[in-house]
């Protein structure tokens, strides 16, 4: 057997921190690729595919219990060709096999454990399996023996499963057009979704609770359209509970991925870049409509965490400007250890101030979770300014002490799609809050992705880590980076960002578009052949690529006035409109894009950026609560695109002027900020 042969673990040469976590397992892991399939065919063995990610707590649990166990590893090595995949590096694979698991009638998640033929086709699977039977789950060794026995002795049964899953997966990638999505549908969906919101603690349903920013943006939009306080209450109850709950890191900033309980107290402690990007976006939007100081504070603290702790590093260990992916839930082998406190620790660090702090942050003698306390302010509203300042000083003491603890693992790979989410969030929040440093940070990250995740011919690659780019880009990569480009274009006025957005939408049209059914496939036409070429408008933990690109196309239409962009946005929405009769819950991003397309307004400021009168008009735009305004700042003497309804508009008696265009018709010019505010729409009565 050669040194690089199948009888050893082959993950040491990978770049993914998750795969590298498993390089010392006694399991003979192979990375996904042709060599694994060739070996499976040569040895006539099924493939055991294990998919996870670096910050995943239950992935760590299964690794400790099974993949680090010599006996279990020997069984895996004898019966299977074992393949390990980082779902963040290969979302295309994760999407396909998660769909296969759903077709088997099982709930998805990570770790994903799937059994494949040597051709990569799934025939059975699950998620976490314990080392011995418990919690109604079979023990992993029993699963291994059972699957291997079925594969060896009942090939007809395996072939039947493969055929059924192949047919089911093919259906999942088909379009279901049902005509245009009418504006009334948005109200119907909002009314139905509002019924699912927990009226006490916010969020959708009971435990566990996920933030689901797209749904709450949809409900906030319904409030802005209708003035129905039901929608506003649902959103504010949810955001306030999350901002005060244990899902938020009250010392360092940033939100954990989800709450294991209905009150947002006990998080699953990993912090993901994509969650925090979406929550910065949503909190900024709702703050623009309410002025709520708590939301502004959480945005500032979360951005502070991102810029302090989530800047990835280059091959030499220097900050590169782009954003890392995740922080782990575990440290020292224990979930949440980095974040929780005992009463004795608080007493020792805060001395005479401890009692005050403990009362506000729910620190108890026996803890509020498994003998320790998760800091939270659930049910504890904000205090007068002097007391809040005192609390800020005490939090700083605890934060400095926490910094001396062993830190959670850091997955520092740069993902184009997740960076796009955070770049857009920083650009939009930076404009709304007047924070130029946030916009500058977004621009640095954007330039890094453009320069280092360049796949050639205008295309991106998906992942980069410490000097090494990997993996073809997906729909989500190009869609999210196009959205980021448009956010930076609006925040800065720089034309190059608009051109990048045009370029990436062109890439999607050439390589991802479904010319027959409409919409866009997740993978390119020249990419790896998988059991199905997935196409969906359903949001998951991240917004759907089709929903995002529909919004990008709508913004391009509003920025340029070119009908071709509107027609393409409408075509994307219509390709998935039939899904509304099946399950509209995951379609929030697409529906929000539909509203942007139908109700968006073009705001044009003619004037020099930085000039006091121009900035005063921009301040009026910043204050607008509308999620559907699209901004163009035009220097005198420069022109808008030919088809834009405000083309040719200029200064008024030498003064900067604002124009608001709806349905391709523009208002008369205004030069006073209050007049522009009125044009942008007074708040709905009662807000």
- pLDDT, tens digit, for every residue of 603-643? 999 999 999 999 999 999 998 999 999 999 999 988 899 99
Q: 385: exposed, middle or buried (C-beta count within 10 Å: 0-12, 13-18, 19+)? A: exposed
For residues 3 and 58, the model is more confident at 58
One-character DSSP codes across 91-151? HHHHHHHHHHHHHTT----SSEEEEE-TTS-EEEEES---SSSBTTB--HHHHHHHHHHHH
280 and 419 belong to one structural domain = yes
When computed from its CA atoms, the radius of gyration of the chain, rounded to whole angstroms, is 26
Q: Say what the pLDDT of residue 518 is.
A: 95
Q: Say what the pLDDT of residue 6 is.
A: 62
Q: What is the CATH number of the domain that holds 607?
A: 3.40.30
Cis peptide before 130 (omega within 30 of 0): no
Q: Say what the pLDDT of residue 687 is.
A: 37
429 and 573 belong to one structural domain = yes
Residue 52: C-alpha distances to residues 91, 93, 183 (Å): 11, 11, 39
Q: Say what the pLDDT of residue 681 is.
A: 81
Q: What is the CATH number of the domain that holds 72?
A: 3.40.30.10
Chain segment 395-405, per-residue pLDDT in tens: 999 999 999 99
Q: Residue 664: inside a domain, yes or no?
A: yes
Pairing of strands 311-313, 319-323: antiparallel
| pLDDT tops 50 at residue 528 | yes
Mean pLDDT of 109-118: 96
User: How far is C-alpha 138 from the geometric centre of its chain's CA atoms?
Assistant: 33
396 and 414 belong to one structural domain = no
What lies within 8 Å, CB to CB, of 252 at 6+ separation is 305, 309, 399, 402
Q: Say what the pLDDT of residue 494 is.
A: 94
Q: Say what the pLDDT of residue 353 is.
A: 98
Burial 153-178 (b: 16+ CB within 10 A, else e): eeeeebeebbeebeeebeebbebbbe
Q: Say what the pLDDT of residue 614 is.
A: 97
Domain boundary among the residues 377, 402, 427 is at 402
Chain segment 262-303, per-residue pLDDT in tens: 999 999 999 999 999 999 999 999 999 999 999 999 999 999
pLDDT > 90 fraction of the chain, expressed in percent and rounded: 93
Domain boundary among the residues 172, 199, 215 is at 172
537 and 676 belong to one structural domain = no
- Is 565 strand, coil or helix? helix
Q: Residue 102: inside a domain, yes or no?
A: yes
Q: Say what the pLDDT of residue 120 is.
A: 96
606 and 579 belong to one structural domain = no
Chain segment 468-497, per-residue pLDDT in tens: 999 999 999 999 999 999 999 999 999 999
Q: Residue 55: inside a domain, yes or no?
A: yes
| pLDDT tops 70 at residue 684 | no
Q: Residue 388: inside a domain, yes or no?
A: yes
Mean pLDDT of 89-107: 94
391 and 527 belong to one structural domain = no
Q: What is the CATH number of the domain that holds 450?
A: 1.50.10.20
Q: Residue 416: inside a domain, yes or no?
A: yes
584 and 612 belong to one structural domain = no
300 and 396 belong to one structural domain = no
Confidence band of 682 (pLDDT split at 50, 70, 90) = low
Return d(Cα 294, Cα 160) in angstroms, integer: 56
- Domain with 33, as residue range(s), is 17-172
Q: Residue 286: inside a domain, yes or no?
A: yes
| pLDDT tops 80 at residue 579 | yes
Q: Residue 117: inside a domain, yes or no?
A: yes
Return d(Cα 478, Cα 468) in angstroms, integer: 19
Average pLDDT of the residues of the chain? 95
Chain segment 155-184, per-residue pLDDT in tens: 999 999 999 999 999 887 888 899 999 999
Return d(Cα 7, Cα 686) in angstroms, integer: 70
Q: Say what the pLDDT of residue 484 is.
A: 98
Domain count, the chain: 4
Confidence band of 4 (pLDDT split at 50, 70, 90) = very low
Mean pLDDT of 522-539: 94
Q: Is residue 413 within 8 Å of residue 88, measured between CB atoms?
A: yes
Q: Residue 424: inside a domain, yes or no?
A: yes
Return d(Cα 411, Cα 152) in angstroms, integer: 39
Q: Is residue 430 within 8 Å of residue 442, measured between CB atoms?
A: yes
In 367-416, which ranges are E strands? 410-411, 414-415
Confidence band of 135 (pLDDT split at 50, 70, 90) = confident
| pLDDT tops 80 at residue 683 | no
How many helices and strands, by DSSP H and E, does the chain display?
A: 24, 22
């Amino acid at each position: 057997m050669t040194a690089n042969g199948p009888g050893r673990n082959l993950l040491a040469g990978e770049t993914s921190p998750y795969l590298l976590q498993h390089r010392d397992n006694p399991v003979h892991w192979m990375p996904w690729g042709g060599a694994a399939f060739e070996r499976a065919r040569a040895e006539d063995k099924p493939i055991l595919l294990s998919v996870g990610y670096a910050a995943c707590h239950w992935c760590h649990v299964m690794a400790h219990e099974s993949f680090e166990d010599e006996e279990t590893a020997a069984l895996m090595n004898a019966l299977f060709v074992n393949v390990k995949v980082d779902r963040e590096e290969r979302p295309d694979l994760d999407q396909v096999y998660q769909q296969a698991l759903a077709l088997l009638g099982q709930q998805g998640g990570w770790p994903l454990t799937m059994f494949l033929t040597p051709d990569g086709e799934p025939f059975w699977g699950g998620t976490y399996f314990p080392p011995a039977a418990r919690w109604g789950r079979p023990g992993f060794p029993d699963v291994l023996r059972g699957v291997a026995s079925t594969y060896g002795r009942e090939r007809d049964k395996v072939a039947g499963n493969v055929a059924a899953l192949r047919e089911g997966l093919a259906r999942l990638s088909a379009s279901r057009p049902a005509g245009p999505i009418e504006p009334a549908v948005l109200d119907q969906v909002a009314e139905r979704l509002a019924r699912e919101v927990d009226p006490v603690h916010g969020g959708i349903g009971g435990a566990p609770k996920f933030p689901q920013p797209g749904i709450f943006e949809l409900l906030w939009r319904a409030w802005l359209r209708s003035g129905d306080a039901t929608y506003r209450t649902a959103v504010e109850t949810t955001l306030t509970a999350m901002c005060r709950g244990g899902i938020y890191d009250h010392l360092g900033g940033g939100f954990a991925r989800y709450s294991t309980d209905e009150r947002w107290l006990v998080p699953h402690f990993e912090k993901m870049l994509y969650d925090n990007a979406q929550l910065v976006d949503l909190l900024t939007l709702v703050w623009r409509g309410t002025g709520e100081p708590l939301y502004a504070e959480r945005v500032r603290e979360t951005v502070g965490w991102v810029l302090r702790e989530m800047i990835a590093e280059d091959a030499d260990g220097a900050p590169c400007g782009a954003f890392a992916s995740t922080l782990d839930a575990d440290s020292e082998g224990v979930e949440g250890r980095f974040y929780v406190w005992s009463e004795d620790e608080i007493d020792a660090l805060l001395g005479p101030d401890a009692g005050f702090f403990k009362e506000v942050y729910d620190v108890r003698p026996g803890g509020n979770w498994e003998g320790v306390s998760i800091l939270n302010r659930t049910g504890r509203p904000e205090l007068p300014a002097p007391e809040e300042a005192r609390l800020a000083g005490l939090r700083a003491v605890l934060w400095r002490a926490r910094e001396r603890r062993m830190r959670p693992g850091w997955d520092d790979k740069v993902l184009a799609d997740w960076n796009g989410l955070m770049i857009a969030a920083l650009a939009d929040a930076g404009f709304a809050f007047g924070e130029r440093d946030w916009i500058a940070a977004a621009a640095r990250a954007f330039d890094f992705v453009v320069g280092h995740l360049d796949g050639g011919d205008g295309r991106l690659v998906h992942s980069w880590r410490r000097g090494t780019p990997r993996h073809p880009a997906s729909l989500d990569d190009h869609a999210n980076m196009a959205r980021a480009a448009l956010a930076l274009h609006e925040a800065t006025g720089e034309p190059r960002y608009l051109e990048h957005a045009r370029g990436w939408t062109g890439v999607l049209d050439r390589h991802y578009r479904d010319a027959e059914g409409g919409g866009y496939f997740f993978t390119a036409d020249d990419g790896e052949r998988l059991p199905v070429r997935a196409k969906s408008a359903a949001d998951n933990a991240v917004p759907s690529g089709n929903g995002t690109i529909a919004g990008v196309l709508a913004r391009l239409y509003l920025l340029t006035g070119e009908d071709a962009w509107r027609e393409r946005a409408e075509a994307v929405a219509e390709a998935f409109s039939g899904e509304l009769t099946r399950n509209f819950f995951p379609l929030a991003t697409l529906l929000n894009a539909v509203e942007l397309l139908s109700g968006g307004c073009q705001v044009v400021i003619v004037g020099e950026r930085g000039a006091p009168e121009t900035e005063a008009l921009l301040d009026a735009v910043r204050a607008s609560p509308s999620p559907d305004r699209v901004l163009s700042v035009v220097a005198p003497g420069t022109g808008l695109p030919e088809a834009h309804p405000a083309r040719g508009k200029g200064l008024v008696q030498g003064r900067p002027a604002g124009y608001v265009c709806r349905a391709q018709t523009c208002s008369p010019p205004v030069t006073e900020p209050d007049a522009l505010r009125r044009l942008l729409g007074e708040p709905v009565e009662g807000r």
